[in-house]
Amino acid sequence: MDAVTVTDLVVDRGRRQVLNGLSFAVPVGQVTGLLGPSGSGKTTLMRAVVGVQQVRSGEVTVLGRPAGSPDLRSRVGYVTQAPSVYEDLTVRENVRYFASLYGMRSPEAEVAIADVGLSDGAGQLVRDLSGGQRGRVSLACALVGCPEVLVLDEPTVGLDPVLRVELWGRFHALAAAGRTLIVSSHVMEEAGRCDRLLLLRDGDLIADSTPTQLRADGRSEDLEEAFLNLIRAREDVAA
Amino acid sequence: MTATTTPPVRAAATHLSPRLTAATAARVLRQLRHDRRTIAMMLVLPSVLLGLLYLLWKDVPTLPGQPSIFDRVGLTMLGIFPFVVMFLVTSIAMLRERTSGTLERLLTTPLARLDLLLGYGLAFGLAAALQAVITVTVATTVYGLDVTGSVSLVVLIAVVDAVLGVALGLLASAFARSEFQAVQFMPVVVLPQFFLCGLLVPVDQMAGWLQAISHVLPLTYAVEALQEVGRSAAATGTMWTDVAIVAGAALLALALAAATLRRRTS
């Protein structure tokens, strides 16, 4: 069963085409990594999945409904790359507000705060936090809604390695509980932590694979090198 | 495989929800609570400025049988302060929602667009009520402002004016890209209404085309309503009509502001 299916998706931003007719499916209950360099179209694709991106053509279906449908709004969580929380509220006030939007209460808010490791600083104003901590508040505000599909744009940027490992553990626990996660990253090192991988480059889908398969196809144990080999192979075909 | 996990049943997300409106209003008030300086300015500044006007006209002789200039101007300012303050505060607050990414995020949640706008209206309306009670109390006790009608009607009109300021502020923020631009909407939206509202020159003494403009600007009706309260002991029909017009203009501005909130952007 697929949580998200994308068919022939074309997106323009300004005069530039940023997604060139992508088609793929994201299975339920897995962590799907969206990998690619900065500017490859990752954020645009994620925005299309949560239904805030104007698209030129193609279809995006989430949990069997067109992306952005009103009844998907309580079932899909989205965490933008730049933390989008209120700087002039405390951590707890932020998470409680988003909890109330999803029909949750303060116990759920406390759990979400604990999940991102911010229980000790829950009473602090977000403006007094570091960039990485703000990102975790933003993540907690999505986790608190217990969404079935969680779309996370570069959630681990700037985090210390211990916390990064903890968060990836958290993502896999959510997936094991039947949730679907789409996690973008520009760090190939994180690709190995995903169940499935989508590799984007210049608006094209280079690979829709698993880490194991990617290593085999790219003839390298190192995912970064495997990715490079795939791109070179494509360019050879194109030339 | 755990794909059989059934989704929790939740209400559809498109229509207005009093619960989400209240949650949003509470959130806006909490943001305000963390900003003590803004609270102090909001609550104290109108009284201080009114005091300045009081001192300005204190020793100017009044024609016999006429209300004193301060009674006329001070009363009108009780409606204009909340309008101006709330317009400014709201347009900046909403612009912050837009630029910080929280607006886009909110639009992916079950919150309806009108929930958000009404939440702002409710929160700043409450703040305006507090502001009006303080200002009216100070004006009538310390500065001896003489109001023929009920003081509570003055507070009511002040709150409706504040809601109009909130609604226009929410709308104006859609046309501003930066806080620099947003503050400059203040003179664009507020000053023409102030000049033409009938305080500086009575509306019936203006040139015909200026009267026509004055009659489509909502602040004119707010000022007329206050002048009615200043004149007659009982609430007049004209006053209620004026209040309804101002409230209607606020609702219209809110609806237009909702239309500017696009879920899908390029």
Cross-strand pairs, A66: A61
Beta carbons of B101 and A148 less than 8 Å apart: no
Smallest CA–CA distance from A151 into chain B, residue: B108
Mutate to test the interface with B, among A101, A104, A124 (most CBs of B within 10 A): A101
pLDDT computed for residue B97 by the predictor? 92
pLDDT computed for residue B5 by the predictor? 40
Is A53 an 8 Å CB contact of chain B? yes
Q: Is the ipTM of this complex over 0.90?
A: no
Is A86 an 8 Å CB contact of chain B? yes
**Percent of residues, chain A, with pLDDT higher than 90:** 64
What distance in Å separates residue B198's CA from the closest CA in chain A? 39
Backbone angles phi, psi at A83, to 5 degrees: -55, 125
pLDDT computed for residue B177 by the predictor? 85
Beta carbons of B34 and A89 less than 8 Å apart: yes
Q: From start to end of A67-140, where are the E strands?
A: 76-79
- Residue B14: pLDDT band by 50, 70, 90 thresholds? low
Mutate to test the interface with A, among B17, B32, B99, B105 (most CBs of A within 10 A): B105
Classify A204 in phi/psi space as left (phi over 0), alpha (psi -120 to 50) or beta.
beta
pLDDT computed for residue A1 by the predictor? 79
Smallest CA–CA distance from A56 into chain B, residue: B266
Beta carbons of A84 and B14 less than 8 Å apart: no
Backbone angles phi, psi at A76, to 5 degrees: -125, 125
pLDDT tens readout for residues B44-93: 999 999 999 999 988 888 877 777 889 889 999 999 999 999 999 999 99
Cross-strand pairs, A41: none
Rounded Cα distance between A89 and A91, Å, is 7
- For chain A, the structural domain boundaries read 76-146
Question: Which of B5 and A200 is assigned the larger pLDDT?
Answer: A200
Relative to beta strand A180-185, strand A149-152 is parallel
- Residue A22: pLDDT band by 50, 70, 90 thresholds? very high
pLDDT computed for residue B174 by the predictor? 87
Question: Which of B67 and A144 is assigned the larger pLDDT?
Answer: A144
- Residue B109: pLDDT band by 50, 70, 90 thresholds? very high
- Helix ranges restricted to H, A180-222: 211-217
Is B36 an 8 Å CB contact of chain A? no
Rounded Cα distance between B150 and A136, Å, is 52
What distance in Å separates residue A238's CA from the closest CA in chain B? 30
What distance in Å separates residue A221's CA from the closest CA in chain B? 28
Rounded Cα distance between B139 and B146, Å, is 9
Range of weakest confidence among A30-44, A189-203, B10-24: B10-24
Question: Which of B25 and B16 is assigned the larger pLDDT?
Answer: B25
- The answer to whether A31 touches A175, Cβ cutoff 8 Å, is yes
pLDDT computed for residue B91 by the predictor? 92
Which residues of A are less than 8 Å from B12 in CB distance? 70-71
Residue A1 CA to its chain's centroid (Å): 19
Beta carbons of A52 and B2 less than 8 Å apart: no
Smallest CA–CA distance from B94 into chain A, residue: A86
**For residues B184-197, average pLDDT:** 91
8-state DSSP, B6: P
What distance in Å separates residue B242's CA from the closest CA in chain A? 36
- The answer to whether A135 touches A158, Cβ cutoff 8 Å, is yes
Which residues of B are less than 8 Å from A101 in CB distance? 20, 23, 106, 109-111
Is B108 an 8 Å CB contact of chain A? yes
- Token reading at A24: 């793929």
pLDDT tens readout for residues A59-107: 999 999 999 898 899 999 999 988 999 999 999 999 999 999 999 999 9
Interhelix angle B208-216/B179-196, nearest 10 degrees: 120
Rg (CA), chain A: 18
pLDDT computed for residue B64 by the predictor? 79
- Token reading at B188: 């664009």
**For residues B249-259, average pLDDT:** 92
Rounded Cα distance between B29 and B120, Å, is 9
Question: Which of B150 and B262 is assigned the larger pLDDT?
Answer: B150
B198's CB contacts (< 8 A; 6+ apart) are B214, B220, B223, B224, B227
- Token reading at A36: 């690619």
**Percent of residues, chain B, with pLDDT higher than 90:** 68
**For residues A2-8, average pLDDT:** 93
pLDDT tens readout for residues B128-180: 999 999 999 999 999 989 889 999 999 999 999 999 999 999 999 988 888 88
Q: What is the mean pLDDT of chain B?
A: 89
Q: Is the pLDDT of residue B263 over 90?
A: no
Rounded Cα distance between A100 and A191, Å, is 34
Q: What is the helix (H) or strand (E) element at residue B194, kind and residue range?
A: helix B179-196
- Token reading at A167: 């968060």
Beta carbons of B3 and A101 less than 8 Å apart: no
Beta carbons of A14 and B8 less than 8 Å apart: no
- The answer to whether A208 touches A24, Cβ cutoff 8 Å, is yes
pLDDT computed for residue A237 by the predictor? 79
Smallest CA–CA distance from B101 into chain A, residue: A84
